[in-house]
Amino acid sequence: MTGITEAPRLTPAARRVLDVATELFYTRGINTVGMELVAERAGVTKKTIYDRFGSKQRLVVAYLRARDARWRDFLAAHQDPDASPRARIGATFEALDAWMRQENQRGCAMVNAYAELSDPEHPGRAVAEEQKGWLRDLYTDLARECGATAPGTLGSVLAMLHEGAVVARNVTGRPTPP
């Protein structure tokens, strides 16, 4: 059941590269971080990066997948599968709050990537789209379990609140979670 995000069996150096890239791309932005800086911070030559990842585009995709996987794991760890659907919705927002408090100082990585990767062909955009679809489906399923009359609508609204909360916390101060 771990087949959603494949495990690409990274070499030790590739692992370091991905970790460093994840940190740098998120905090400084994808376009402002060059491959040379990634190589230097990972204690690796550019050659090694290109041998392992092929191109910056693919490294970016790997970065986005890694961020997404980390968030899903985080959420799963903060969820009690046996709790009521209503409680699980609340727990999701609480997990988001905790997530932002500790690992998220620059907003949503997917939204940021979508802003930076203006080329519609960039495969990173598809990762972000998939992630947002997943999030909406998550809330829609919870709404359905709650017995909502229009689970699709409620799920979308919850997802929008989720997204808006991230933006609000990022660009302004504290939000007020309901």
Partner touching 65 among a second copy, DNA, none, CB below 5 to 8 Å by kind: none
Which CB sits closer to DNA, 33 or 165?
A: 33
99 close to 141: Cβ distance less than 8 angstroms: no
User: What is the distance between the alpha carbons of residues 127 and 170, in angstroms, rounded to a whole number?
Assistant: 21
Q: Which does 27 bind (CB under 5 to 8 A by kind): DNA, a second copy, none?
A: a second copy
Q: φ and ψ at 111, to 5 degrees? A: -65, -45
Q: Does 153 bind DNA (CB under 7 A)?
A: no
Beta carbon of residue 14, minimum distance to DNA (angstroms, whole number): 5
* 3 state SS for 83-134: CCHHHHHHHHHHHHHHHHHHHCCCCCHHHHHHHHCCCCCCHHHHHHHHHHHH
Among 19, 23, 29, 37, binds DNA (CB under 7 A): 37
Site string for a second copy, 105-124 (x = CB under 8 A): -xx--xxx-xxx-x------
Q: Does 111 bind DNA (CB under 7 A)?
A: no
Site string for a second copy, 124-153 (x = CB under 8 A): ----xx--xx--x---------------xx
The SS3 assignment for 62 reads helix
Q: Are 117 and 124 in contact (CB under 8 A)?
A: yes
169 contacts DNA (rule: CB under 7 A): no
- Residue 19 found at the interface with a second copy (CB under 8 A): no
Q: Which of 1, 3, 12, 171 binds DNA (CB under 7 A)?
A: 12
Query: Nearest to residue 43, comparing CAs of 74, 64, 13?
Result: 13
Rounded CA-CA distance 150/46 in Å is 52
Tokens of 171: 């660009």
Which residues of this chain interact with a second copy, rule CB under 8 A?
27-29, 31-32, 106-107, 110-112, 114-116, 118, 128-129, 132-133, 136, 152-153, 156-157, 159-165, 167-168, 170-172, 175-176, 178
